[in-house]
Amino acid sequence: MADFTSEFWSWFIIAGAALGIVSMFALNRWMSGGPKEGGKPKTMGHVWDEDLQELNNPLPRWWLNMFYITLVFGIGYLALYPGLGSFAGLLKWSEVGEYNKEVEAADKKYGPLYEKYLQEDLRALAGNREAVKTGERLFVNYCTTCHGSDAGGGPGFPNLRDRDWLYGGDPQTVKASIMNGRIGVMPGWGAALGQEGVFNVAEYVLSLSGRGTNVNAAASGREKFQQLCVACHGADGKGNPALGAPNLTDGIWLYGGSQRAVMESIEKGRQGRMPAHRDFLGEAKVHLLAAYVLSLSAEKSPKP
């Protein structure tokens, strides 16, 4: 309700609600009317079995009173709670406020459980079974939408189990990624390379991981790679963790390793964003999340 771009819409809703309530009172009043004292009720003009008529008698008083009660309740509700345009209600209730109260109560109750792990070394914590279980529950709640329930990732979302890290896999770097988020930008080179150039560079990039490629196209692509790509990926194509530039020689592909997917990455570029969780979760929970993520990669043997 606070997001109206014009006060007109707020007053439009207030007027509509007020008019509706007044109209219902008037309708109730009209429906409670009956024949004057000594008068005969009017017939509705419907006759059955020669003399059985439908008469315009008023509704029962108890029934009409129920309508009045609901209208009074509606007025009270709209006075206390949001519902009339941008008017917040006398109680100033809001969904955000309720959520913040619940979070505050939960932090007060469960915060000490997280805080006790905050000072522990992340590598040691990654081997703590109880801490890892707690971190797993946090991961399930906050991270599976992107990284999957098994942390195996998907196109555009890194696999957290394979020991391949865009920004480095040491404990503090992993924690920093969760705390502060990451923004990865791969510029598109389609305009500079043209369709043939994109194909040639893709062939060269695929050859870096030992894939069979068109030798002549890869040789031509190598020249363009040295001109346009080494600033991020390095002359040997092994990437740069400081920039989040991936290693192109290991056969692990964030957006897919097919020729089509690689060509699309080169031609159109890629935009990746890992949201920051510092303010949302707090350092203690992030610390446990980082420990859980580190425990996943620790299950795998180191890459050769």
pTM of model > 0.85: no
Residues with Cβ < 8 Å from 37, sequence gap 6 or more? none
pLDDT along the chain (304 residues), means of 10: 72 93 91 64 76 79 91 95 91 90 87 89 94 95 94 94 92 96 95 96 95 94 95 95 94 93 96 93 94 84 43
Q: How confident is the model over 100-124, as pLDDT tens digits?
A: 899 889 888 888 888 989 989 999 9
Position 38 scores a pLDDT of 58
Positive or negative: CA dihedral 226, 229, 234, 239: negative
Position 147 scores a pLDDT of 95
Residue type, 41: P
Instruction: Using CB atoms within 10 Å of the CB of residue 302, give its burial: 0 to 12 exposed, 13 to 18 middle, 19+ buried.
Output: exposed
C-beta atoms surrounding 250 within 10 Å: 16
106, containing H or E segment: helix 95-118
d(CA 124, CA 131): 10
Residue type, 278: R
Position 81 scores a pLDDT of 94
d(CA 85, CA 8): 9
> How many helices and strands, by DSSP H and E, does the chain display?
13, 4
Structure letter (DSSP) for residue 53: E
User: What domains can be seen in the chain, in order of their start residue?
Assistant: 7-93 (no CATH), 96-181+276-298 (1.10.760.10), 185-274 (1.10.760.10)
Position 1 scores a pLDDT of 46
Residues with Cβ < 8 Å from 67, sequence gap 6 or more? 24, 28
Position 191 scores a pLDDT of 95
d(CA 172, CA 162): 18
Position 37 scores a pLDDT of 54
Residue 183, φ and ψ in degrees, nearest 5: -130, 115
d(CA 220, CA 113): 58
Residue 84 β-bridge partners: 87
d(CA 53, CA 42): 10
d(CA 220, CA 233): 18
